[in-house]
Amino acid sequence: MVIIILKLFFKIMNYKNIKGGYVMFKRLVSVLMVVCLLFVVVLTGCDKTADTEESGVVTITYFNFSAGADNAEVLEAMIADFEEDNPGIKVENVSVGYGEYFTQLATKIAAGNAPDVFELNMENFLAYAIRGTIREVDGLFEKTGIDKSVYSEAVLKAGSFNDKQYAIPLMFSTVMLVYNKDLFDQAGIAYPTEDWTWEDEMQAAKKIRALGDDTWGVLQGIQFWEFYKTIQKNGGNLLSEDGKQFTMNSPENIETLTYMRDRIWKYNIEPTEEQRADRGSNDLMVEGKLGMFYGGVWSFADLVKRGEGVNWDIEVEPGNTAKASHFFANVGCISTTTDKYEAAFKFLNYIASNPKAVRRRIEAQWELPTINDPELLKTYLEIKPPENKEAVFKSLDYAVKPPALEQFAELVEIVNPKLEMVRDNLMTPKEALDAAQKEAEAMIRLD
């Protein structure tokens, strides 16, 4: 570049001695100025490239779905906080709608273009762990100096598989028994307690049902998610303990499904689909026509907004031979193909447990943080109603996970339609579970 500039300079000097060369001189000076500017730009670009390489800035891609439109700004704020506190790491945020998220993620992984770090819900986490597409992270806690004890032990298990940690729990929701105090008072019944059993619930529901033709004792529903949890309250499960056989039609499972069916068709303390008339559990509670329902923390905001004047609270779900509580958790996973795993690990732990991120999540009411710090959770507990917010966290003591299957989605497609047939009194519990057992054995691998 310097040689080119010098040659041009000498040409300019020669042209000055030519008659009428002044115009040419001015043109060449302009050319020379442009060349010099280009030279500066090139040098500057080289310097920037060098600075970027020498600075050691790492960029990771975060693929996620849960923020949605409501919490997109919250997530961006968390990322900005992280980058400010970790100047050596940049995060490329890629948010996709839930409906297409898992298809896109599977396509990226199959094409060898997996994001460095990505979000999974509980059911898909287990499937991805079995496939070996996510990295074990136990060793990274010690390597990075991050304290694993900042997390609730029960929630931390949501990201484990075969006694190894494969994910960081980002957020969770538990399911509890939501009840209408006013209807309990009218029926002369003591409020639910943590040690309530199915029999306690049944007797209370019968008394509340007697209050009116369109007043219902309980609403749980008969569907896959409630079924796989409820059978564990009665000593049942969908798989054998070693995971090598289906146990769909075990006596415990048939007994449980019979109990769920009888609440609708034998005692009618729970409405049929026709009686419910497209009203959800929150709708019936707001109308003052439902004594109890099984619902998660996502119900609270709607009940507060629409249920002014309704005196409601929550308690841990009743059990039978055991207690079991259903909870939903989203976890952060690191791809086995990334070489930026330490940066990814720091990022996941930051948005899950850093006090700044925790406060942002609580203020936005974006699920619940997974940390084990009473002081940080105090703000959440102080938001009323419900009064018994502690039940949200007590439920974690009884949390159960869905079956660990690579073909989990196929299992849901097999079981759920048969449960709906029982709900509508078109199949007996035994017929439905016998059919589910036979179909699952034929279509799903257990290896």
**Phi and psi angles of residue 68, each rounded to the nearest 5 degrees, phi first:** 60, -160
Q: What does the alpha-carbon distance between residue 222 and residue 260 come to, in Å, rounded to a whole number?
A: 7
- Whether the per-residue pLDDT at 47 is higher than 90: the answer is no
At residue 55, the pLDDT reads: 58
Fold of 58-172+327-399: D-Maltodextrin-Binding Protein; domain 2 (3.40.190)
pLDDT at 18: 36
- Per-residue model confidence (pLDDT) at position 193: 98
Q: Is the peptide bond before 417 cis (omega within 30 degrees of 0)?
A: no
Domain 174-325+400-443 sits in CATH at 3.40.190.10
| Residue 36 confidence (pLDDT) above 60 | no
What are the Cα distances from residue 305, in Å, to 19, 217, 297, 308, 309?
89, 23, 14, 7, 11
Domain ranges within the chain, ordered by starting residue: 58-172+327-399, 174-325+400-443
Name the packing angle between helices 198-209 and 251-265 (round to 10°): 10
Asked whether the predicted pLDDT for residue 254 surpasses 50, the reply is yes
In this predicted structure, which of 220-224, 362-366, 422-426 has the lowest mean pLDDT?
362-366
6: confidence class by pLDDT, cuts 50, 70, 90: very low
Angle value at C-alpha 19, between 18 and 25, nearest 5 degrees: 60
Mean pLDDT of the chain: 88
Chain centroid to CA 220? 22
Q: Does 58-172+327-399 match 174-325+400-443 in CATH topology?
A: yes
Percent of the chain with pLDDT over 90: 73
